[in-house]
Amino acid sequence: MGVLMAVVAHPDDEAFGMGGTLARYAAEGHVVYVVSATRGEAGQIAGEVAAPANLPVVRERELGCACRAYGARPPMFLDYLDGQLPIVHQGQAVGKLVRLIRELRPDVIITFGPDGVYGHYDHIAVHRWATIAYTLANDPDCFPGQLDEVCQPHQVHKLYYQVLLEEELEEWRAQGQEPVVMMDDVPFPMVGWKRSDISTVIDIRAYAEAKRAGLLCHRSQISDASEWTGEEALASSMFREEVYVLARSTVERPDGVEDDLFRGLGRNHGDRTEGCRRPPTRP
Ligand SMILES: [Zn+2]
């Protein structure tokens, strides 16, 4: 089976737009990894489940809880600080990701689109890093020091951007909810994509419960859990489908909309030999 890697900026980034996808591919027998650039230490705290001093530890645990709910491997972290990704040395961050790609040898990577879902500067930085790392991981001239440690170059087959559908945002507006995220007291509008621009729709209805369980793990980020536990929530499009744009691919692109991130890769895709002698970086 294959290997799927999600690359995000903060614990809980995976929950809203990718949780069902992660659960589906884990259930189908693929190895699923979640890599988070930070431990979400700058975010607001909902309720009293954490304090600023222990927030990174709490959020690391919450992402671990969510990964268990999806059936993914324990999460990995790039060890950067929340809110500071745009000023991180890009070459260093890409090097860390390339190293992880060479170790874990994913067939498919999912990450944010160029809009960062709602323009979050950390998301946009991660989008850039993952997009660059997709190409560089297979280039033996890039980060050759890693190859001395018996890391082999690795070609990821596909890179997908997770995005939101404009029609989903319309659904929110119809319910009187403005699709914006408050950041530093500034409302950042969520970015909706036209359905005609979507390449891939993942049906997650069978994994709605796993997605919800993952979401509820992020207790320090959820002010009102009841929002996600009612029948109404489960009936919303968030628990029906997750949508992606195929950004890079080593296999031919589909004519129409595809329903599988591993489409075209065959059953024996990827080589499962370990790329690096040392075990993957863990927190
Ligand atoms: Zn985020």
Q: What is the pLDDT of residue 140?
A: 93
Q: Which of 90, 81, 247, 94 is nearest to 160 (CA)?
A: 247
How far does the centroid of ligand 1 lie from the alpha carbon of residue 163, in Å? 13
User: Over 50: is that where the pLDDT of 283 sits?
Assistant: no
Q: Is residue 280 part of a domain?
A: no
* Pair 74, 114: CB distance under 8 Å: no
Instruction: Give the end-to-end CA distance of the chain in Å, rounded to a whole number.
Output: 26
Task: Round to whole Å and give the CA distance between 39 and 51.
Answer: 14
User: Over 70: is that where the pLDDT of 281 sits?
Assistant: no
How far does the centroid of ligand 1 lie from the alpha carbon of residue 122, in Å? 7
User: Over 60: is that where the pLDDT of 282 sits?
Assistant: no
How far does the centroid of ligand 1 lie from the alpha carbon of residue 97, in Å? 18
- In this structure, what token pair is assigned to residue 62? 């919450």
Q: What is the pLDDT of residue 268?
A: 54
User: Over 60: is that where the pLDDT of 57 sits?
Assistant: yes
Per DSSP, the three-state class of 247 is strand
User: Over 80: is that where the pLDDT of 273 sits?
Assistant: no
Q: What is the pLDDT of residue 87?
A: 97
Q: Is residue 195 part of a domain?
A: yes
How far does the centroid of ligand 1 lie from the alpha carbon of residue 257, in Å? 27
Q: What are phi and psi of 215, to 5 degrees?
A: -60, -45
Q: Give, in degrees to the nearest 5, the angle at Cα 191 between 72 and 93.
A: 50
* Pair 256, 210: CB distance under 8 Å: no
How far does the centroid of ligand 1 lie from the alpha carbon of residue 90, in Å? 18
Q: What residue numbers bound the domain in which 137 lies?
A: 3-249
pLDDT, average across residues 248-269? 89
**What does the pLDDT look like over 132-177, one tens digit per residue?**
999 999 999 999 999 887 789 999 999 999 999 999 999 889 989 8
Under the banding of pLDDT at 50, 70 and 90, the label for residue 279 is low
pLDDT, average across residues 230-242? 86
How far does the centroid of ligand 1 lie from the alpha carbon of residue 22, in Å? 17
* Ion ligand 1 residue ranges (Cβ < 5 Å): 9-10, 13
Q: Is residue 223 part of a domain?
A: yes
Q: What is the pLDDT of residue 278?
A: 59
How far does the centroid of ligand 1 lie from the alpha carbon of residue 215, in Å? 13
Nearby residues of 126 by Cβ (< 8 Å), 6 or more positions away: 7, 8, 9, 37, 85, 111, 112, 116
Specify the range with the lowest mean pLDDT, choosing from 2-6, 30-34, 265-269: 265-269
Strand pairing partners for 73? none
Task: Round to whole Å and give the CA distance between 263 and 49.
Answer: 41
How far does the centroid of ligand 1 lie from the alpha carbon of residue 56, in Å? 14
**What does the pLDDT look like over 89-98, one tens digit per residue?**
999 999 999 9
How far does the centroid of ligand 1 lie from the alpha carbon of residue 111, in Å? 11
DSSP run (H or E) holding 58: helix 55-70
Domain count, the chain: 1
Q: What is the pLDDT of residue 188?
A: 95
Q: Is residue 255 part of a domain?
A: no
Largest CA distance in the chain: 57
How far does the centroid of ligand 1 lie from the alpha carbon of residue 223, in Å? 16
Q: Is residue 238 part of a domain?
A: yes
DSSP run (H or E) holding 248: strand 241-249
Nearby residues of 238 by Cβ (< 8 Å), 6 or more positions away: 16, 168
How far does the centroid of ligand 1 lie from the alpha carbon of residue 10, in Å? 5
Whichever domain contains 158, its CATH number is 3.40.50.10320
Task: Give 22's DSSP letter.
Answer: H
Q: Which of 204, 261, 215, 264 is nearest to 4 (CA)?
A: 261
Q: Is residue 45 part of a domain?
A: yes
Q: Is 114 exposed, middle or buried (0-12, 13-18, 19+ CB in 10 A)?
A: middle
Q: Is residue 271 part of a domain?
A: no
Torsion over CA: 8, 14, 17, 19 (sign) = positive
* Pair 166, 192: CB distance under 8 Å: yes
How far does the centroid of ligand 1 lie from the alpha carbon of residue 138, in Å? 28
Q: Is 23 exposed, middle or buried (0-12, 13-18, 19+ CB in 10 A)?
A: buried
